[in-house]
Homo-oligomer: A and B are copies of this chain.
Amino acid sequence: MQIAIVLYDRFTALDAVGPYETLGRVPGAETVFVAEQAGPVRNDSGNLALTADRSLADVPHPDIIVVPGGPGPLPLAADGPLLTWLRTADATSTWTTSVCTGSLLLAAAGLLKGRRATSHWLALEELERHGVEPTGERVVTDGKYVTAAGVSSGIDMGLMLLGRIAGDDHAQIVQLATEYDPQPPYDAGSPEKAPAHLVELVRTHSGVILT
Contacts and interface: CB of A to CB of B under 8 A. Distances in A.
Interface in A148-206: 149-153, 155-156, 159-160, 163, 168-169, 171-186, 188-191, 193-195, 198-199, 201-202, 206
A138 B160 CA distance: 23
B159 A177 contact: no
Interface string A86-104: 0000000000000010000
B49 A31 contact: no
A62 interface: no
A79 interface: no
19 contacts: A21-B152, A25-B210, A47-B53, A48-B51, A49-B50, A50-B51, A100-B179, A121-B179, A149-B179, A151-B178, A152-B180, A156-B185, A163-B185, A173-B210, A174-B210, A176-B190, A177-B209, A181-B189, A182-B184
